Amino acid sequence: MKPLILVTNDDGITAAGIRNLVTVMKTIGDVVVVAPNSPQSGMGHAITIGEPLRLYETHIFQNVVEYECSGTPADCVKLAKHYVLRDKKPDLVVSGINHGSNSSISVLYSGTMSAAIEGAIEGIPAIGFSLCDFREDADFSHALPFIASITKAALENGIPKGVALNVNIPAKTDTPLKGIKICRQADAKWQEKFDYRVDPNGRGYLWMAGDFVNFDTEKEDTDVWALDNNYVSVVPCQYDLTEYKALKDMSTWNF
């Protein structure tokens, strides 16, 4: 029996990335798509509260059960499990392929990875895929064999309970990718700044900008190093954010 694979994303159901992801997943299993009806990048793990969710059947892909949702990526996974599929538990949730990197600290802001992590919360093995290319005409072709390989390995070996895989793939260049590296999340952050600008009507507004700063520049076991050196990075992520060393240290505090 073919595995049942739920596909979602944060760039919207008409994005090129999800079309490529569906194409790969159809060669592996039976596919159900529930994805946002508009871009949801940077939404993190937001869910819709206090507003109705709209769910409509679509006909974008061939031989696929598919719906577009008015909510966030996390909403899409919840609706898929509890409403669309009901008693059919997916064997795997895959999210993406995102336009742009979700390495390092970006995993916390990512709608792509939040959908995957929602799958893990629901007890479903999950993978988020991202291509480190923000261009609308990004070439996904070199990424597809790696996506297929990682997906098959995950189905064969199993993903630990409570874990979602964060997969990032370098943009296509003239140099072939070197392979796949299992990594940890790099210690890095965005140093933001806000530019004050004036619109054509003379009203002021703020535009967030900034620079990505990597504090792990000498470390070769991180996702940022892997990507900089033309490897596909795979980071196992957990939704349990407890810092257990701090938990032990704080047990001696006197309140």
pLDDT digits (tens, 9 = 90+) for 18-48: 999 999 999 999 999 999 999 888 888 999 9
Q: Give domain status of residue 225, yes or no.
A: yes
Q: Which of 243, 217, 238 is nearest to 229 (CA)?
A: 217
Radius of gyration of the chain (CA): 19
Q: Any idea how long the chain is?
A: 255
Phi (first) and psi of residue 115, to 5 degrees? -65, -45
**Cα–Cα distance list, 217 to 82, 131, 132, 214, 236 (Å):** 43, 21, 18, 6, 20
Q: Are 38 and 122 in contact (CB under 8 A)?
A: no
Peptide bond into 60 cis (omega under 30): no
Structural domain for 114, as ranges: 4-187+219-250
**Cα–Cα distance list, 218 to 100, 107, 186 (Å):** 24, 21, 11
pTM of the model: 0.93
Q: Give domain status of residue 192, yes or no.
A: no
Q: Which of 43, 103, 29 is nearest to 76 (CA)?
A: 43
AA letter at 28: I
- pLDDT value of position 64: 93
- pLDDT value of position 41: 83
Q: Token digits for 86?
A: 């009901």
Q: Are 24 and 79 in contact (CB under 8 A)?
A: no
Q: How many domains is the chain built from?
A: 1
Q: Give domain status of residue 11, yes or no.
A: yes
3-class DSSP assignment, residue 232 = strand
**Cα–Cα distance list, 64 to 31, 37, 53, 211 (Å):** 6, 17, 22, 40
pLDDT under 50: residue ranges of the chain = none
CATH code, domain carrying 110: 3.40.1210.10
Instruction: For residue range 166-205, list pLDDT tens digits in order.
Output: 999 999 999 999 999 999 999 988 888 899 999 999 999 9
Q: Which of 125, 94, 76, 96 is nearest to 20 (CA)?
A: 96
Q: Give domain status of residue 87, yes or no.
A: yes
Q: Token digits for 233?
A: 């990075």
Q: Give domain status of residue 203, yes or no.
A: no
Q: Give domain status of residue 204, yes or no.
A: no
Q: Tokens 């796949």 map to which residue?
A: 180
Q: Give domain status of residue 197, yes or no.
A: no
C-alpha 90/C-alpha 96 separation (Å) is 17
Q: Are 208 and 199 in contact (CB under 8 A)?
A: no
Q: Are 74 and 6 in contact (CB under 8 A)?
A: no
- pLDDT value of position 57: 95
- pLDDT value of position 193: 87
Q: Give domain status of residue 132, yes or no.
A: yes
Q: Which of 111, 129, 109 is nearest to 212 (CA)?
A: 109
